[in-house]
Amino acid sequence: MENLLETLKELLKKDERLIKDGELFKNKIIELALKLDKDLLKLLLSDEKIKEIFFFNIEKMTIFDKDKFIRFISNKHFLPDSYTSFKNKIGLIDGDEYITEKKEVVLAWPYKDCVLEGGMTKEDQKRDEIFYNETLAPDEISRLLDPKVFTNAKRLDRDGEHPIKSLKCSKSGHGNQTFKTDENGDIKDNLIIKGNNLLALHSLKERFAGKIKLIYIDPPYNQPSKTNSFQYNNLFNHSTWLTFMKNRIRISKDLLLDNGTIWINVDDTESHYLKIICDEIFGRENFIINFIWQKKYSPANDAKWFSDNHDHILVFAKSKERFKPNLLKRTEKMNKRYSNPDNDPRGEWKPGGFSVKTYSSDYDYPIKTPSGKVVYPPKGSCWQTSKENYLEKLKDNRIWFGPNNDSKPQIKQFLNEVQQGVVCKSIWTYDEVAHNQISRKEITDLFNEFVFSTPKPEKLLKRIIELSTKKNDIVLDYCLGSGTTCAVAHKMGRQYIGIEQMNYIEDVSVERIKKVISGEQGGISKLVNWKGGGDFIYLELLEWNERFSGEIQKAKTKGELKTLWEKMKYKAFLSYKVDIKKIDENIKEFEELTLEKQKQFMMECLDKNHLYVNYSEIEDEEYKISEEDKELNREFYKK
**Residues 213, 285 within the same domain:** yes
Please report the pLDDT score of residue 8 as a whole number.
87
In-domain check, residue 90 = no
Domain count, the chain: 4
pLDDT tens profile 437-473: 898 898 888 888 777 777 899 999 999 999 999 999 9
Amino acid, single-letter form, for residue 86: F
**Residues 619, 631 within the same domain:** yes
Which of 118-122, 198-202, 296-300 is predicted with the least confidence, judged by mean pLDDT?
Answer: 118-122
In-domain check, residue 591 = yes
Q: What is the CATH number of the domain that holds 257?
A: 3.40.50.150
Distance of CA 527 to the CA centre of its chain: 26
Residue 380 has pLDDT above 60, yes or no: yes
Distance of CA 82 to the CA centre of its chain: 37
| Spatial distance between the Cα atoms of 434 and 438, rounded to a whole number of angstroms | 6
Residue 21 has pLDDT above 70, yes or no: no
| Spatial distance between the Cα atoms of 299 and 232, rounded to a whole number of angstroms | 34
Q: Are strands 191-194 and 536-541 parallel, antiparallel or unpaired?
A: parallel
Q: Where are the beta strands (DSSP E) in 501-627?
A: 536-541
**Residues 195, 269 within the same domain:** yes
**Residues 323, 344 within the same domain:** no
Listed residue (444, 435, 452, 461) closest to 509, CA to CA: 452
119 vs 77, 451, 464, 492, 507, CA distance in Å? 40, 11, 30, 30, 8
**Residues 470, 602 within the same domain:** no
**Residues 552, 610 within the same domain:** yes
Q: Sign of torsion, CA 126 130 132 137?
A: positive
In-domain check, residue 180 = no
**Residues 277, 408 within the same domain:** no
| Range of the structural domain that residue 41 is part of | 2-79
In-domain check, residue 424 = no
Which of 197-211, 380-394, 594-608 is predicted with the least confidence, judged by mean pLDDT?
Answer: 594-608
Last residue in a domain, options 534, 565, 587: 534
In-domain check, residue 95 = no
Q: Is 61 exposed, middle or buried (0-12, 13-18, 19+ CB in 10 A)?
A: exposed
Amino acid, single-letter form, for residue 212: I
Last residue in a domain, options 477, 507, 534: 534
Return the higher-pLDDT residue of 96 and 261: 261
pTM for this predicted structure: 0.75
pLDDT, mean over the chain: 85
**Residues 445, 475 within the same domain:** yes
**Residues 198, 256 within the same domain:** yes
In-domain check, residue 176 = no
pLDDT tens profile 239-255: 777 888 888 999 999 99
**pLDDT confidence band for 80 (50 / 70 / 90):** low
In-domain check, residue 42 = yes
Contacts 24+ apart (CB under 8 A), 10-19: 11/43, 11/44, 11/46, 11/47, 11/50, 12/43, 14/43, 15/39, 15/40, 15/43
Residue 153 has pLDDT above 70, yes or no: yes
**Residues 411, 526 within the same domain:** no
**pLDDT confidence band for 514 (50 / 70 / 90):** very high
In-domain check, residue 526 = yes
Q: What is the DSSP string of 155-182?
A: EEETTEEEEGGG--B-TTSSSSBSS-B-
Residue 229 has pLDDT above 80, yes or no: no
**Residues 489, 551 within the same domain:** no
Last residue in a domain, options 417, 450, 468: 417
Amino acid, single-letter form, for residue 170: S
pLDDT, mean of residues 524-551? 95
pLDDT tens profile 413-441: 998 887 778 888 999 999 999 998 898 89
**Residues 379, 457 within the same domain:** no
